[in-house]
Amino acid sequence: MRTFFRNEHGVGAIEFALIAPMLAIVLMGIMSGWAYYQQNNYMRDSVEVAGKYFLQGGTSEATGIAIAEAAWNQKPDDGNVEVSKTCACAGAAASCTTVCSDSSIPEKYWTIEASSVFYDPFFVNPIVPDGFSLYERQVVRVR
């Protein structure tokens, strides 16, 4: 019986069997964190591209949306892009077609917003819950 308890054959396999599940969970957590980071960056890049369109003189909301959606790598089915234009005179909301009371041209702002929902591909990451909302917003002043 003593020989049986002193036998060390297979100890490495038992240690590996105890540690392997934890290593797999850590690896899947890293991969799901990377997927979150990547999806968020793709969305941010698309908003920046649309912002550059407006900075270069673009005036069409539909074209801005189309540019942002085309620039969104691996856009999820629930991904959404919205563009809106606002104008202001001395910090107060104003019409974009009229001159301000001090005879200046109103400041024009384009707001580009993108939203999506992140679904964890492995369902193991407790930090980023499944169905986590992603949101990116950029305001561009063009005049």
Quick one: pLDDT at residue 118? 86
What's the first-to-final CA gap in the chain, in angstroms? 89
| Cβ contact 36:128 at 8 Å | yes
In the chain (143 residues long), the average pLDDT of successive 10-residue segments reads: 68 87 87 88 95 92 94 91 92 86 90 90 64 90 84
| Residue partners of 23: CB distance under 8 A and separation at least 6 | none
What span, in angstroms and rounded, lies between the C-alpha atoms of 66 and 118?
Answer: 22
- The DSSP call for residue 98 is S
| Cβ contact 115:134 at 8 Å | yes
Quick one: pLDDT at residue 2? 66
What are the tokens at 79?
């991904």
Estimate the share of the chain in helix, then strand, then coil, as percent rounded to the nearest 5. 45, 25, 35
What span, in angstroms and rounded, lies between the C-alpha atoms of 122 and 92?
Answer: 48
Quick one: pLDDT at residue 48? 96
Q: How far is the CA of 105 from the CAs of 54, 57, 59, 110, 129, in angstroms? A: 18, 16, 16, 16, 47
Quick one: pLDDT at residue 129? 62
| Cβ contact 136:113 at 8 Å | yes
Quick one: pLDDT at residue 3? 66
Quick one: pLDDT at residue 124? 62
